[in-house]
Structure 1
Amino acid sequence: MRLDFVQDDPVPSARARRGLRSHLTGLAAEEAVARKYQAQGYKILARRWRGAGGEVDIIAGKGDDLAIVEVKSARNHDIAAGYFGRAQQIRLGACAEEYLREIHLSGRDPMTIVDMRFDLALVDGLGRVDIAEAAFFL
């Protein structure tokens, strides 16, 4: 019986470890935000929805309302908010349009959505969630 305790893969670099940590932190932040929306009666329609123009972290619906949600996490909410710029706002708008077209093509009527807004969800280092509803307009 062969006992080989040596890994074939080299030890990940510091950069790779930071990338993995950031990825896992982002997933945890998105989960915390999704739970907060669900606690407010929203249904999570999509997570990490990908379109040609990019990715939307969370799409949540409640009645006639549709929230397109960008999640940002950092040590505190102010730093997290600073990571969200105008270019991302424009990208989110394009993704929202694509999502609505996809709804229409799937046979659902996008006109049943009366109120669509863009929310910014901020998660701090302690896991506290702050949601800015209608954080920006296009």
Structure 2
Amino acid sequence: MSTRKATGQEAEAVAARYLQRRGIRICDRNVFSRGGEIDLVGMDGDTVVFFEVRYRGHGSLAGAAESVSYRKQQRVLRAASYYLHRHGLWNAPARVDVVAVAPGGLRRYKIQWIKNAIQSSA
């Protein structure tokens, strides 16, 4: 396994543990569709939440949260729409959050959870 893939999987595992400690029930991981990939899918009460997990190490020019490009946002929105359709959840409240993971100082990781970070223009 490449180190980049392993780093990504570790960041997703860190994010999942962080979210679970804050009351999110993780339902799916690494969901692939024609539209794109969703890193984590969870439930926050009755809201379906799609999580884009981003990791940036020391020396990165852009922070993890800032690294979500417009094109990536569109792919996540397409994949989320497909997921809702496929699971018959069109009437369920849903949102897309970003979880930014970076190396920490006192703790091993610094985590930033941005709720409703990606919104559909429609």
Deviations 1:11-63 (A, max 9, x none): xxxxxxxx811111111100011111111111111100011111100011122
C-alpha separation in 2, matches of 1:22 and 1:125: 15
1:73 aligns with 2:55: yes
Deviations 1:52-101 (A, max 9, x none): 11110001112211111101101269521232111111111110111011
Unaligned runs of at least 5 residues, structure 1: 1-18
Following superposition, the deviation at residue 119 of structure 1 comes to 0.6
| 1:122 corresponding residue in structure 2 | 100
User: CA-atom RMSD, angstroms?
Assistant: 1.8
Unaligned runs of at least 5 residues, structure 2: none
| 1:13 corresponding residue in structure 2 | none
Max radius of gyration: which structure?
1
1:135 aligns with 2:113: no
The amino acid across from 1:49 in the alignment is V
Identity across matched positions, percent: 25
The size of the alignment, in residue pairs, is: 114
Question: If the length of structure 1 is used for normalisation, what is the TM-score?
Answer: 0.75
The amino acid across from 2:67 in the alignment is Y
C-alpha separation in 2, matches of 1:53 and 1:97: 9
Higher helix fraction (1 or 2): 1
